[in-house]
Copies of this chain bind each other. A is one copy, B any other.
Amino acid sequence: MRASKLASLPTIKRLPSYLHVIENAAREGRTFISGTMIADELELEPIQVRKDLAITGIVGKPRIGFPVQNLIEAIYGFLHWDTCHRAVIVGAGSLATALMGYPEFPRRGLSIEAAFDTDPAKVGRVINGKPVYHLDKLAERVEKLSASMAILTVPSQSAQDVAEQAIMAGITAIWNFTNVKLKVPPQVIVQKEDLSSGYAVLSVKIRMLNGE
């Protein structure tokens, strides 16, 4: 059992960027990387990087740093990215297309197996090698694919309805790209991705830069 309770949300969110830097180092043939180096690259404090990396259980060598391969494996393990997450995506628009073509996901254990839509113009098409089915086929396909995750890229109005259908079909984790706060049973996990909040931060920074 991993000591996952010890990892805070901010730490978990930073791990992927560490992984990115460490994988670059691996690609360059490095076998060790120091927390200081990672911190420099990402403009963070070295102490924060060390603290965060501690949750992986990998111990570093003073003066030398952390073993790159072990660190990569440990982060994958910690993030559960060494396991395949079979997902379906509902709403086969351009955002779905973007997510289905995102090359990083397959390497990180996320496999988007099929898309669903109600638009007859989209049903039957193939996106990035994966079929687009009518939403009616959701339950049937989720079972056949043994998918446990649903990614929601539908319009806001249908978000709650689609979420309920997905849950009925046996989905236990939802990655929600709509701006709707979904109401789900307690055992279902929802992660909401909110573009507006990123834009809000950017926008406030602009206002402050412009000296108001």
Contact = CB atoms under 8 A, between A and B. Distances in A.
Interface of A: 1-2, 4, 7, 9, 12-17, 20, 41-43, 78-81, 83, 85, 93-95, 97-99, 101-102, 104-105, 108-110, 148-149, 172-173, 175, 179, 181, 187, 189, 191, 193-209, 212
8 contacts: A4-B208, A80-B204, A93-B101, A94-B98, A172-B209, A189-B202, A191-B201, A191-B205
Contact of A9 (B95, B101, B201): B201
B12 A204 contact: yes
Contacts of A149: 202, 206
Contacts of A179: 16-17, 20, 104
Contacts of A196: 16-17, 20, 104, 108
A80 B201 CA distance: 10
A14 to B, nearest CB: 7
